[in-house]
């Protein structure tokens, strides 16, 4: 008896709790109408693909997208990936690519923002020019740089030969050891303006009074930067770095167009590798398993992203 | 106000006579960044006005002996096959980007408004779900989306691209617009509602006009994003007459690998619409991006 009443009690409590939320949702029913179009589109195009990718990662799929004939293989795809040497090569490339691109883009962008913070003649024009690489298509950027790096007629090679730094034009992108750094230079070219814009906006929020107070107290330019400006920008910097890291981790176009991952996987990063597995070799199951792993990594990054963002909001609320 | 604020620091800097090392470092740094940014684009322009023969020389002609607009004429001439293709790609890109932009604004405006104003259960969850979407790469969605599009009969149509771009543009669009709505005082709407307007009327008559800069910015972002998108267009479209510019150019020049002046001219023309759009509406563009992350 007591057990039954205990259960009933619990159920009642559960129901009332749930109906509390439901009641609240019902009270706000009109509000959902505003969000509904966005949610509906995203459910179809985002939720379904994620579910499907997870499902497919447990199957072996014959080529040709005849996905009805897929065979269940459990975790085989995962173990195959984690034991293959290509996986570790590509992971290493991805780490170098993401860390180097993110760090250097941020430093160059932050530096430009600082240098552009003070008013001078032509500041607007200069700022506009520096942002242009970010606006133009990555495909166009890839072709421009591919031509600059060209092994016979590339302008960088010609300059190096002209200055006597090389006997013959170096081969930048058909060389296992130079290809990744060369592509990172292109990526930074496109990415640093983003960091610059974000940090420029951040700089505008640094209170002038604090800076002049520090000056009156005899702080040097470096001290003012390090003790006033920089701490003030910590949350903007976090968000910027995270956004850059995610974007770089997800890069595809530049390596794909410029090298296609070659020579001998030296410029393959995760995304290009997954693409090749799926659409080049039609290994849908393996590619899906890769995607799920990628997903997990991104969720981890995403956790920090959300935390950084909600940290911002909290600070704002208290201010 | 602004003039006073502007002159005060300038007066201070003039008073300081001693050479400021940091300032010089900043200037040198800016020159370096300017070269890094501009030289590749300048080289693109110089190459595009060379003849095919002049481009393939070592050492290169720093300025072409015989500048020619032949590459541009070829791309823009509807009479020859290259021009026909290029103009069709251009038109396809324009169509897809414009429709995407209009739909994005229509869907994002109410959503962003709701995220900014209402406190419904699950609001935070939904908002972060929106933001999280930004984190996942196209490749994760490619295979299932391709299958989905096949089921919907949309493969090889521009509809597949518009639907995809719309979805993937939405999180950013909502985020940007929310920043603008957050800055519009609620009191304005409340005043309108006291005067007898419905919530919807207040939204249309008061909030919409005030958020025009935000809507413009969102529209530019959607347009540039759709214009430059490559991976979905590359996967979903296979018929030559439907390709958008990035894919079309790649297809074309994987067949004509040595026509670098043509490739540079095409890259330049592909960049013109977005760069012009950006330069004209720069103010909104930069403001919107930062509004979400760096609120004042």
CATH classification of the domain holding A124: 1.10.3720.10
Domain, as residue range, for B107: 73-293
SS3 for chain A is CHHHHHHHHHHHHHHHHHHHHHHHHHHCHHHHHHHHHHHHHHHHHHHHHHHHHHHHCCEECCCCCCHHHCEECCCHHHHHHHHCHHHHHHHHHHHHHHHHHHHHHHHHHHHHHHHHHCCCCCHHHHHHHHHHHHHCCHHHHHHHHHHHCCCCCCHHHHHHHHCCCCCCCCCCCCCCCCHHHHHHHHHHHHHHHHHHHHHHHHHHCCCHHHHHHHHHCCCCHHHHHHHHHHHHCHHHHHHHHHHHHHHHHCCCHHHHHHCCCCCCCCCCCHHHHHHHHHHHCCCHHHHHHHHHHHHHHHHHHHHHHHHHHHHHHHHHHHC
| Contact state of A115 with B250 under an 8 Å Cβ cutoff | no
Q: What's residue B92's pLDDT?
A: 93
Q: Which of B28, B55, B71 is the last residue of a domain?
A: B71
Please provide residue A72's backbone torsions phi and psi, each rounded to the nearest 5 degrees. Answer: -70, 130
Task: Select from B269, B289, B284 the least CA-distant residue to B94.
Answer: B269
Nearest to B29 among A111, A136, A291 (CB): A111
B199 in a structural domain = yes
| Contact state of B264 with A284 under an 8 Å Cβ cutoff | no
By C-alpha distance, the chain A residue nearest B141 is A49
Do residues B152 and B225 share a domain?
Answer: yes
Task: Select from B179, B129, B224, B112 the least CA-distant residue to A37.
Answer: B112
Q: Which of B8, B42, B71 is the last residue of a domain?
A: B71
Using a CB-CB cut-off of 8 Å, the residues of chain B touching A129 are 34, 37-38
B56 in a structural domain = yes
List all residues of chain A from 212 to 271 with a beta carbon under 8 Å from chain B.
Answer: 221-222, 236, 239-240, 246, 249-250, 252-253, 257, 271
Do residues B141 and B286 share a domain?
Answer: yes
Do residues B51 and B81 share a domain?
Answer: no
Task: Select from A268, A47, A77, A256 the least CA-distant residue to B235.
Answer: A256
Answer yes or no: pTM beyond 0.90.
no
CA B130, B173, A243: angle at the middle one, nearest 5? Answer: 65
Using a CB-CB cut-off of 8 Å, the residues of chain B touching A28 are 118-121
Task: Select from B49, B77, B70 the least CA-distant residue to B61.
Answer: B49
Q: What's residue A251's pLDDT?
A: 87
A43 in a structural domain = no
Nearest to B26 among A24, A115, A275 (CB): A115
A112 in a structural domain = yes
B79 in a structural domain = yes
Number of folded domains in chain A? 1
Which CA distances in Å does B87 have to A284, B98, B165, B240?
35, 16, 22, 12
Q: What's residue A2's pLDDT?
A: 43
For B128, the token pair is 């972060």
B13 in a structural domain = no
Using a CB-CB cut-off of 8 Å, the residues of chain A touching B58 are 152-153, 158, 169
| Contact state of A138 with B235 under an 8 Å Cβ cutoff | no
Give the pLDDT of chain B (296 residues) as one tens digit per residue: 344 444 444 444 444 445 577 788 888 999 999 999 999 999 999 999 988 778 877 778 888 888 888 888 888 888 888 888 889 999 999 999 999 999 999 988 888 888 788 776 666 655 566 556 666 777 777 777 787 788 888 888 898 899 888 877 787 788 778 777 877 888 888 888 888 888 888 888 888 888 888 888 888 888 988 999 998 898 888 888 889 999 988 887 777 777 888 899 999 999 999 999 888 887 777 666 665 545 43
Do residues B183 and B271 share a domain?
Answer: yes
Do residues B111 and B209 share a domain?
Answer: yes
* Chain B interface mutation, best of A21, A39, A42, A281, highest count of B Cβ atoms under 10 Å: A42
Q: Which residues contact A109 (CB under 8 A, 6 or more apart)?
A: A191, A192, A193, A194, A195, A196, A197, A198, A199, A240
- Residue A25 burial (CB < 10 Å; 0-12/13-18/19+)? middle
Is residue B231 within 8 Å of residue A137, measured between CB atoms? no
Phi-psi region of B256 (alpha: psi -120 to 50; beta: other; left: phi over 0): beta
Do residues B130 and B189 share a domain?
Answer: yes
d(CA A277, CA A271): 10
DSSP conformational letter for B155? T
Do residues B24 and B118 share a domain?
Answer: no
| Contact state of B271 with A137 under an 8 Å Cβ cutoff | yes
A56 in a structural domain = no
Task: Select from B132, B140, B130, B168 the least CA-distant residue to A294.
Answer: B140
* Chain A interface mutation, best of B38, B89, B105, B143, highest count of A Cβ atoms under 10 Å: B143
A18 in a structural domain = no
CA B116, B118, B122: angle at the middle one, nearest 5? Answer: 100
Question: β-pairing, A71-72 with A59-60?
Answer: antiparallel
Q: What's residue A145's pLDDT?
A: 94
A49 CB neighbour count, 10 Å cutoff: 21
B241 in a structural domain = yes
Q: What's residue B3's pLDDT?
A: 41
Q: Which of B37, B71, B105 is the last residue of a domain?
A: B71
Domain, as residue range, for A250: 76-318
Do residues B41 and B123 share a domain?
Answer: no
- In tens, the pLDDT along A17-41 reads 556 677 777 777 777 777 777 777 7
A13 in a structural domain = no
Do residues B175 and B138 share a domain?
Answer: yes
Q: What's residue A187's pLDDT?
A: 95
A259 in a structural domain = yes
- In tens, the pLDDT along A156-189 reads 888 888 888 888 888 888 888 899 999 999 999 9
Is residue B164 within 8 Å of residue A41, measured between CB atoms? no
Do residues B156 and B202 share a domain?
Answer: yes
By C-alpha distance, the chain A residue nearest B282 is A128
Is residue B96 within 8 Å of residue B165, measured between CB atoms? yes
B130 in a structural domain = yes
Place of tokens 């799929």: A61
Using a CB-CB cut-off of 8 Å, the residues of chain B touching A39 are 126
A181 CB neighbour count, 10 Å cutoff: 13
Using a CB-CB cut-off of 8 Å, the residues of chain B touching A52 are 143-144, 147
d(CA B88, CA B243): 8
pLDDT under 50 in chain A at which residues?
1-5, 316-319
d(CA A226, CA B275): 36
Number of folded domains in chain B? 2
- In tens, the pLDDT along A82-115 reads 888 889 999 999 999 999 999 999 999 999 999 9
- Residue B153 burial (CB < 10 Å; 0-12/13-18/19+)? exposed
| Contact state of B279 with A128 under an 8 Å Cβ cutoff | yes
Do residues B234 and B166 share a domain?
Answer: yes
B116 in a structural domain = yes
Question: Measured between CB atoms, does A139 come within 8 Å of chain B?
Answer: yes
Q: What's residue A122's pLDDT?
A: 85
Using a CB-CB cut-off of 8 Å, the residues of chain A touching B120 are 24-25, 28, 31-32
Nearest to A298 among B10, B128, B136 (CB): B136
- Dihedral (CA of B144, B147, B153, B159) sign: positive
DSSP conformational letter for B241? G
A32 in a structural domain = no
B5 in a structural domain = no
- Residue A315 burial (CB < 10 Å; 0-12/13-18/19+)? exposed
- Residue A69 burial (CB < 10 Å; 0-12/13-18/19+)? exposed
* Chain A interface mutation, best of B120, B202, B207, B244, highest count of A Cβ atoms under 10 Å: B120
A305 in a structural domain = yes
Using a CB-CB cut-off of 8 Å, the residues of chain A touching B26 are 111, 114-115, 118
| Contact state of B144 with A53 under an 8 Å Cβ cutoff | yes
| Contact state of A45 with B164 under an 8 Å Cβ cutoff | yes
Do residues B174 and B129 share a domain?
Answer: yes
CATH code of the domain containing B283: 1.10.3720.10
Q: What's residue A311's pLDDT?
A: 63
d(CA A124, CA A143): 28
């Amino acid at each position: 008896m007591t057990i039954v009443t205990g259960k009933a009690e619990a159920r009642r409590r559960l129901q009332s709790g749930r109906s509390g939320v439901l009641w609240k949702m019902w009270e706000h029913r009109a509000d959902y109408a505003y969000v509904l179009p966005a949610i509906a589109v995203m459910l179809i195009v985002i939720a379904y693909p994620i579910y499907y990718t997870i499902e497919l990662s447990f199957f072996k799929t014959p080529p040709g997208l005849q996905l009805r004939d897929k065979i269940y293989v459990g975790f085989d795809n995962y173990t195959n990936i984690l034991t293959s040497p290509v996986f570790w090569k590509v992971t290493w490339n991805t780490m170098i690519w993401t860390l180097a691109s993110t760090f250097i883009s941020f430093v160059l962008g932050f530096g430009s923002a600082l240098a552009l913070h003070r008013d001078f003649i032509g500041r607007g024009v200069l700022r506009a020019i520096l942002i242009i690489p970010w606006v133009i298509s990555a495909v166009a950027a890839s072709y421009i740089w591919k031509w600059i790096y060209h092994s016979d007629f590339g302008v960088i090679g010609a300059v190096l030969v002209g200055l006597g730094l090389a006997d013959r034009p170096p081969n930048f992108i058909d060389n296992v050891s130079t290809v990744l750094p060369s592509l990172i230079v292109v990526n930074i070219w496109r990415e640093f303006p983003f960091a610059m814009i974000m940090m420029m906006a951040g700089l505008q929020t640094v209170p002038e009074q604090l800076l002049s107070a520090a000056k009156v107290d005899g702080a040097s330019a470096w001290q003012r930067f390090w003790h006033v400006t920089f701490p003030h920008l910590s949350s903007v910097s976090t968000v910027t770095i995270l956004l850059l890291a995610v974007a770089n981790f997800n890069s595809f176009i530049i390596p794909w167009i410029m090298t296609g991952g070659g020579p001998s996987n030296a410029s393959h990063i995760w995304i290009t590798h997954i693409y090749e597995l799926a659409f080049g070799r039609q290994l849908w199951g393996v590619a899906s398993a890769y995607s799920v792993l990628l997903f997990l990594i991104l969720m981890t990054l995403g956790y920090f992203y959300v935390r950084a963002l909600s940290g911002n909001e909290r600070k704002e609320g208290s201010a | 106000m602004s003039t006073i604020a502007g002159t005060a620091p300038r007066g201070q800097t003039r008073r300081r006579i001693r050479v400021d090392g940091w300032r010089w470092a900043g200037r040198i740094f800016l020159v370096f960044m300017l070269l890094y940014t501009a030289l590749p684009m300048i080289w693109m322009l110089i190459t595009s006005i060379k003849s095919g023969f002049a481009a393939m020389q070592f050492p290169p002609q720093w300025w072409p002996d015989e500048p020619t607009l032949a590459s541009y004429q070829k791309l823009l001439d509807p009479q020859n096959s290259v021009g026909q293709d290029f103009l069709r790609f251009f038109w396809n890109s324009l169509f897809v980007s414009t429709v995407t932009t209009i739909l994005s604004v229509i869907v994002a405006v109410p959503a962003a408004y709701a995220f900014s104003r209402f406190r419904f259960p699950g609001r935070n969850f939904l908002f972060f779900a929106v933001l999280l979407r930004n984190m996942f790469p196209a490749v994760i969605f490619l295979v299932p989306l391709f299958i989905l599009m096949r089921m919907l009969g949309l493969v090889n149509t521009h509809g597949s691209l518009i639907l995809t771009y719309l979805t993937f543009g939405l999180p950013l669009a909502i985020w940007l617009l929310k920043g603008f709505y957050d800055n519009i005082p609620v009191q304005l709407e409340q005043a309108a509602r006291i005067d007898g307007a419905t919530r919807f009327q207040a939204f249309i008559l008061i909030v919409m006009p005030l958020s025009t800069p935000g809507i413009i910015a969102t529209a530019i972002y959607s347009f540039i994003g759709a214009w430059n998108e490559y991976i979905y267009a590359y996967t979903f479209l296979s018929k030559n007459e439907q390709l958008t510019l990035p894919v079309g150019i790649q297809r074309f020049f994987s067949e004509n690998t040595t026509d670098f002046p043509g490739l540079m001219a095409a890259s330049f023309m592909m960049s013109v619409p977005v760069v012009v759009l950006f330069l004209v509406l720069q103010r909104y563009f930069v403001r919107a991006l930062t509004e979400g992350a760096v609120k004042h």
